[in-house]
Amino acid sequence: MRTFISKNVQQLRPSGIRRYFDIAATMTDVITLGIGEPDFATPQHIARVGADCVLTGQTAYTSNSGAIELRRAISAQMRRLYGLEYGAADEVLVTVGVSEALYLALKAICDPGDEVLVVEPCFVANAAAVEMAGGVPVPVPTFVEHGFQVTGAELEARITPRTKAILISYPNNPTGAVLTPEHLAELADVAVRHDLLVISDEIYERLVYGVEHINVASLPGMRERTIVLSGMSKSYAMTGWRIGYALAPAPIMDAMRKLHQYLIMSAPTMGQAAAVEALEHGEDAVEAMRCDYDRRRRLIVDGFNRIGLPCFEPRGAFYAFPDIRPTGLTDEEFCETLLREERVAVVPGSAFGASGAGFIRASYTASCANIERALERIGRFAVRHGLAAQVDTLPV
């Protein structure tokens, strides 16, 4: 029998995250710092609106673009946060999470062989999404020595006549980096001079600590060449509701909407209703969760530094990205051995791109108690594998 699986799918690399969760699923007493999912429940007033939508029979399709009330709420938030104006009728699209929005954006702009500069380390799906859309992902590395900031020089060095767009994810998963105004200006300058689009995944935009997140579309000359992606999952603890959205100039949005019509029809109706409530009345909940993550952020970063694993200070999202090279192990060896010996699940940095090698991603969506327990176990592990740190210096 012939092989029926397409070459395109055969060539996709499996997610570098999944393997460690599969191992952890066979074990007991595992502390998981691997999943990028809030440990908060969706705030009750938001969940209640979604539940009422179901119980009162509001379960039909919405407009392909999404309920107009939600599109207006998204537009209002962009105006309030960034001073950006997007037409609710033709420049806002509600999607099934940011994952769908990313695929639509790439599929709408990529002809076969078009190159997309993918700034790394980044979410494991980014390069794969480019390939699924028919494009060619071109990795652009960032480095801890530069604060994981993408530079104009690194972008310039990889531009060819086939380059179509730059894909960025700031605040960043996995590093927690937030682009500085200076580096954002460099990126914008490259995009304008080379007539490139920018696709900006901003799903962690509300979760920043001591810095300001600047939307790339708010820079001079960038609104007309930027596709902004965001959603409800991270800031509002609404991962399972599957509501994302995209904002773009009308001609680009027309193309994305055409694809969305054939693929999805419309995002979940009850999720859209809950999202309106979140955007209009959820600020207190967002701030409360952000402050709690900030406490956990300081706890985990200080803990890794005490252990002897130098930790880049994350300024956004909810991930720590410590350097595990002092152990002499590769990041994959570190993660697998730590899981088997101490039952702590983290993710190798190389899963997020080659420039993440030698680091691990540890999510601080776990409770402070579990973070402290995990740090104690990691401390024992590190000492056993040659570090000089003492376990009794760690939080207990």
Domains defined for the chain, CATH in brackets: 7-42+284-393 (3.90.1150.10), 46-281 (3.40.640.10)
pLDDT of residue 395: 44
pLDDT of residue 285: 98
**Against a cut of 0.85, is the pTM above it?**
yes
CA 134 to chain centre: 22
Whether 134 contacts 110, CB under 8 Å: yes
**110-132 residue pLDDT tens:** 999 999 999 999 999 999 999 99
pLDDT of residue 12: 82
Q: Is the peptide bond before 141 cis (omega within 30 degrees of 0)?
A: no
Low-confidence ranges of the chain (pLDDT < 70): 16, 18, 20, 388-396
pLDDT of residue 295: 98
- What type of residue sits at position 259? L
Q: Is the peptide bond before 121 cis (omega within 30 degrees of 0)?
A: yes
pLDDT of residue 7: 83
Whole-angstrom distance, CA of residue 333 vs CA of residue 349: 11
- What type of residue sits at position 248? A
DSSP 175: T
pLDDT of residue 36: 86
**161-205 residue pLDDT tens:** 999 999 999 999 999 999 999 999 999 999 999 999 999 999 999
Closest by CA position to 82, among listed 178, 196, 215: 215
Q: Is the peptide bond before 322 cis (omega within 30 degrees of 0)?
A: no
Q: Which two tokens stand for residue 60?
A: 């039909």
